[in-house]
Amino acid sequence: MRVFELHFNPRAKNEISDRIFDSFCFEPENIYEKRLGSLYLVGELKNLLPQNLQLLNNLSRVIKEKYYAAPLQAPEKAFENCLKVANEFLAKEVSKENVSWLGNLDFSVLTLKNFDLHFAKTGVLKILLLRAGQIIDISKNLDFEEIEPYPLKIFTKTLSGKLSFGDKIMIFSQEVFDFFSKQNLLNEFLKIEVFNEQNIREILKPKEKEIAEISGILLLIDSKSEVREKPKIVTFQKELEKFSMKEVFPPLIRVLKRVGSIFKKILDKTLLKIERIFCLPKLKIKRRVPKKIGLPSLIFKPKMKFTDNLKRNLILVLILIFVLIAGFFIFQGEEKKQLKKGEEILNEVREKILEAENFLIFKNEEKANILFKEAWEEILPLTKEEGPLKDTASSLKESIETNLKKLSKLEIVTDPTLVFEFDPKEFIPQKITYLKGDLYLFSPLSEKLFKINLQTKNKNSFDLPWGKDSEVSSATISGDSIVFFSKPDKIVFFRNDGFAAPFSLKSPYSDFNFISFSSYQGNLYLLDQKGGEVIKFPSPFPDGKDYPKLWLNSQTKKATDGKSMATDGTIWILRENNIISRYYNGQYQKDLIFDFFPSPERLYKILARPYLPYLYILEPVQNRIIIVKKTGEVIKQFQSEKFESLKDFTISPNGKTIYVLNGLKIYQLDFSLP
């Protein structure tokens, strides 16, 4: 999910305003909170009184604490409980005789777990759904809900639904919604396939003057990306008014007056001397009769009197000039100091680059890589600062990155081969796997399994053999079959274009929660999200299905933060910290800690094959696929701008072809391996 918080002319600190607004986005912080998904809150309070400055913050805090308080409960129950606590919190405010917010509070609560949506609201906030070229007001059934006074209930009704891949949710405050409607901006937003800060600003740029006159908030949730990213706050702030001498100088003069008192006595004496020299007590007129010209000549000196006000103003002006001159020299000195420091960094970076290039000549890539990374980290801050060194720093940074990419075997793929593209009206794939020259695609949101023949590009579909309430969440290859798993415990084998009878696995313990599974030599291995246990279900099936075993030794290190697992005789578990833990024969062996460029941000999925010495890793957040040896050394990296919505991937039996599921498209990458 991509989440954007658009704030239009928010109240600045210490600014007096009659209203406040804010958004609060809470993403799961651990494996327990992931059971409940994300929590999004939007609020606006009008006719604001000082005692309610923190009302939105406090209300959001109690809702969040209650929602994630019991992660083992269902999201629907957690949502119900957090609304109950919100009502109790607001009722308590009324009991304190704080009633000014009644009728002035607009607030929405929305939760999202996978694609399951629950929401409630009070007031005039608008909640819109953008789907398949249509704009749907999903909050209209809540618009006329009245507060129940005895006992006080602000949130009285909730709605639930299920999003489809690519849906967008927009939550507006009233003024922003009216502006978007009047300016026809909703239709412009409807045209965007995947949102980012750049295209949002491009849409709104022609309306900059009009935006400067509105105030409010828009929360935008884009489900196009399956990878959750940190919410992005985008602020549209009215430009500061032109510099005003009248507004700026009075406070400055008050400060300078205090500073100027130390100069007053000295200046008084100086001014007295000036007055004696240049000022006469009266205007004098002296008549002279030139010898040759018979006209009078007038010589006069005007009277100048230094009044107290004039003296005071002159003192202030002199002090101001002194402060400005001193500030100029201080600034110049600091600027020269920073410039000198920056030049020293540039020289150090150049030396490290030269030293690293020398290591490359002698084939010592490890030491060269270390030096290039140190140089990159040192030069990076200079590329973000405006100044005379920025261009030079940026040029050095590009040179370093070129070497780092080469050392990390990074290949930029500009035009990957397109294998197939789905029609979104027919099917939106989420997962992909490979078996016997065919690709198989499925989704938790569909009851269909699709097969793509790689030779003919023909497409077939099959009905999954269970009801609508079950969602196929994962699949693995076992011999000549595909094994599909549906939470909480359903298993079905697919072989020769047909499904066997589905059956249920016996749960190894009461709170077992599957997160990933794999197969090796006919046995199934399931990773428990909570306890970090690996459960082995030995073949044959279905006769052996009721005998799950704890595969990990009771004394060994558990993978409590695991999120993806692959099996090839050894079990490899990808963890939240981008480390892959190796387990063999039930025992923890070691961690693979990666040192390639760009550094991993959020590795997502891992694949392994028993007959290949490589691990394959998917990282959607950086649009890439990484191949490493099972010792941790990077072999290949593929990155492409077209991989902007990576969902899943699979590999051919020889490991030399990768099939990438990106949104609705399947791409093929062919390469050679050492």
Task: Tell me the average pLDDT across 201-221.
Answer: 89
Q: What are phi and psi of 171, to 5 degrees?
A: -115, 115
CB-neighbour burial class of residue 410 (10 A; exposed 0-12, middle 13-18, buried 19+): buried
Distance of alpha carbon 50 from alpha carbon 33, whole angstroms: 35
Query: Nearest-CA neighbor of 436 among 486, 479, 383?
Result: 479
Is 539:546 a contact under the CB 8 Å cutoff?
A: no
CA atoms within 13 A on the CB side of 58: 12
pLDDT at 297: 44
**Stretch (H or E) spanning 351:** helix 308-361
For residue 342, how many other CB atoms are within 10 A of its CB? 19
Average pLDDT over residues 283-300: 44
Give pLDDT, residue 307.
Answer: 63
Measured between alpha carbons, how far is residue 525 from residues 68, 475, 607 in Å?
Answer: 30, 12, 14
Tens digit of each residue's pLDDT (9 = 90 or more) over 541-575: 776 667 889 999 999 999 888 989 999 999 999 99
As a whole number of angstroms, the distance between CA 642 and CA 362 comes to 37
Q: Which secondary-structure segment (H or E) carries 57?
A: helix 55-67
Distance of CA 36 to the CA centre of its chain: 19
Cα separation, 552 vs 550, in Å, equals 6
Confidence at 515, pLDDT banded by 50, 70, 90: confident
Q: Quick check: 126 and 137 in contact, CB under 8 A?
A: yes
Residue 320 tokens, joined: 């101001």
What does the alpha-carbon distance between residue 26 and residue 63 come to, in Å, rounded to a whole number?
11
Domains of the chain: residue spans and CATH: 2-236 (3.60.40.10), 247-407 (no CATH), 464-645 (2.120.10.30)
Q: What is the pLDDT of residue 624?
A: 95
Give dist(CA 231, CA 491) in Å, integer.
Answer: 36
How many residues belong to the chain?
A: 674
Mean pLDDT is highest, among 118-127, 243-252, 323-332, 608-617, for: 608-617
**What is the strand order of the sheet 624-629 is part of?**
410-412, 634-639, 624-629, 614-619, 605-608
Q: How confident is the model at residue 287 (pLDDT cuts 50, 70, 90)?
A: very low
The DSSP element (H or E) to which 451 belongs, if any, is strand 448-453
Question: What DSSP assignment string belongs to 135-168?
Answer: EEETTGGGTTPPPBTTTTBS----EEEE--TT-E
Average pLDDT, the chain: 83
Amino acid at 497: D
258-267, 545-554, 617-626: which has the minimum mean pLDDT? Answer: 258-267
More confident residue, 25 or 332: 25
Q: With H, G, I as helix, E, B as strand and everything else as coil, classify residue 2.
A: strand
Residue 220, strand partner residues: 4, 170
Please tell me the distance from the alpha carbon of residue 594 to that of residue 619, in angstroms, as a whole number.
13
Burial 297-333 (b: 16+ CB within 10 A, else e): eeeeeeeeeeeeeeeeeebbeebbeeeeeeeeeeeee
Tell me what percent of the residues of the chain surpass a pLDDT of 70. Answer: 82
Give the H/E segment covering residue 486: strand 481-486
Q: Is 599 exposed, middle or buried (0-12, 13-18, 19+ CB in 10 A)?
A: exposed
Is residue 398 a contact partner of residue 140, using CB atoms and an 8 Å limit? Answer: no
The structure's pTM equals 0.57
Q: Are strands 503-504 and 498-499 parallel, antiparallel or unpaired?
A: unpaired
Q: Read off the tokens for 389.
A: 């060194």
pLDDT of residue 290: 47
**Higher local confidence (pLDDT), 161 or 44:** 44
**What proportions of the chain, in percent to the nearest 5, are helix, strand and coil?**
30, 30, 40
> What confidence tens digit (pLDDT) does each residue in 31-50 have?
778 889 999 999 999 888 88
Q: Is the dihedral of CA 86, 88, 94, 98 positive or negative?
A: negative
For residue 55, give both structure tokens: 């009302």
Q: What is the pLDDT of residues 622-665, one digit of tens each?
A: 999 999 999 999 999 999 999 988 989 999 999 999 999 998 89
* Weakest-pLDDT range from 34-43, 54-63, 266-275, 375-384: 266-275
- Residue 591: pLDDT band (50, 70, 90) is very high
Residue type, 311: K
Please compute the mean of the pLDDT values over residues 238-264 and round it to a whole number: 48
How many angstroms separate the CA atoms of 480 and 508, rounded? Answer: 27
pLDDT value at residue 237 = 72
What average pLDDT does range 457-470 have in this prediction? 81
- Report the DSSP beta bridge partners of residue 125: none
Strands 634-639 and 410-412: parallel
Looking at 183-294, list the stretches that DSSP marks H as alpha helix, in order from N- to C-terminal side.
185-190, 197-204, 208-211, 245-260, 264-278
Give me the pLDDT at residue 149, please.
Answer: 53
Residue 404 is predicted with a pLDDT of 94
What is each CA distance from 471 to 430, 448, 563, in whole angstroms? 12, 11, 19
H/E element holding 372?
helix 365-383
Whole-number percent of the chain with pLDDT over 90? 42
3-state DSSP call for residue 121?
A: strand
Reference 439, options 428, 450, 429, 447; nearest CA is 450
